[in-house]
Amino acid sequence: MEQKSFQISEYGKLYLVPTPIGNLDDMTIRAVSTLKEVDLIAAEDTRHSGILLQHFQIKKDLISLHEHNYAQRVPELVDKLKKGLNIAQISDAGMPSISDPGHELVLAAIQNGVDVISLPGASAGITALIASGLPADKFTFIGFLSKKDSEQKKQLEELMPLDSTLIFYESPFRVGKTLENVRAIFGEKTKVVLARELTKKFESYYRGDITQALNFIKSNRPRGEFVLLIKKIHEAIVPSDELIVDLIDERIASGTKPIDAIKAVAKLLGLIRADVYKIYHKEKNDV
């Protein structure tokens, strides 16, 4: 269903409200006021969210919305939205839909012409990234990798070409095995940051290469949820003069003019054309 841009719906509104990832003081003033003003709150775990609401003295009806009741709940909530009720959606921690329930209701709301309003707030991945020391200008959020070893390795292989900081979520029970697979796929020089218990009392970061990180995990029993950030080190391969000459000769043998062959090889290897020209003619003159 196509939704017209900049047209305000006459239905109720769906508010996506972030909750703290650990420290309750990170709850924003707008988030609290929104939860107090809506007609209903859809929560991943009503018992967990009930504690949060009680802390901020928010008295609203809660309805559960999680991966096991989407089929039933989403149509119910969309119907309420179309009848004019304003609904807030929250997850147990952080932003709804980011490795948490939420996407199905958002998609259904959009398809039915309901306005969706997202509030900014805490996200463990971004919080860890900006303190990691790894490049933050280009990053790729992955979330949780597969629990199956073979599928996880395949996922990592598919991520190999990316030249960005990769952000994963991992449990303390699997972080060691995941690091082993990262080393196997990405190599020994991969930079790693382990961020643990973010915004909580025992928040900590470990920074090092992949082997150092593995040794740290083996000697320190992992506890709490982890954000795992990795950055592959792309090592520049310096081609030998012999390889450069061979590549040029191959092109000349196939009918390419020498000057064009030199240009093509320089471009292929990311080298300066004049340098390739000098190497080729020096090698030929020395023969």
CA dist list (Å): 206 to 164, 212, 237 = 19, 9, 30
The verdict on residue 2 lying in a domain is: no
pLDDT at 237: 54
Q: What pLDDT band is residue 7 in, cutting at 50, 70 and 90?
A: low
pLDDT at 234: 67
Indicate if 89 and 133 belong to the same structural domain: no
- What is the average pLDDT across 13-37? 96
The verdict on residue 236 lying in a domain is: no
Indicate if 171 and 193 belong to the same structural domain: yes
Indicate if 206 and 266 belong to the same structural domain: no
The verdict on residue 270 lying in a domain is: yes
Q: What is the dihedral sign for C-alpha 123, 65, 225, 178?
A: negative
Distance of alpha carbon 185 from the chain centroid: 18
Indicate if 33 and 105 belong to the same structural domain: yes
Say what percent of the chain tops pLDDT 70. Answer: 95
The verdict on residue 212 lying in a domain is: yes
Q: Residue 204 belongs to a domain with what CATH number?
A: 3.30.950.10
pLDDT at 8: 67
Q: Residue 107 belongs to a domain with what CATH number?
A: 3.40.1010.10
- What is the average pLDDT across 209-220? 94
pLDDT at 136: 94
The verdict on residue 79 lying in a domain is: yes
The verdict on residue 166 lying in a domain is: yes
Q: What pLDDT band is residue 168 in, cutting at 50, 70 and 90?
A: very high
Q: What pLDDT band is residue 67 in, cutting at 50, 70 and 90?
A: confident
Q: Which residue has the tokens 């924003």?
A: 28
pLDDT at 286: 67
**CA–CA gap between residue 76 and residue 84 (Å, rounded):** 13
Structural domain tally of the chain?
3
**pLDDT above 70 (res 259):** yes
Q: Using one digit for the tens of pLDDT, what is the confidence trace for 87-133?
A: 999 999 999 988 777 799 999 999 999 999 999 999 999 999 999 99
Indicate if 55 and 148 belong to the same structural domain: no
**pLDDT above 70 (res 227):** yes
Q: What pLDDT band is residue 241 in, cutting at 50, 70 and 90?
A: confident
Last residue within a domain, chosen from 89, 118, 147: 118
- Highest average pLDDT, of 11-25, 223-237, 251-265, comes from 11-25
**CA–CA gap between residue 81 and residue 102 (Å, rounded):** 15
**pLDDT above 80 (res 246):** yes
The verdict on residue 49 lying in a domain is: yes
Last residue within a domain, chosen from 118, 135, 169: 118
pLDDT at 28: 96
Domain encompassing residue 195: 124-231
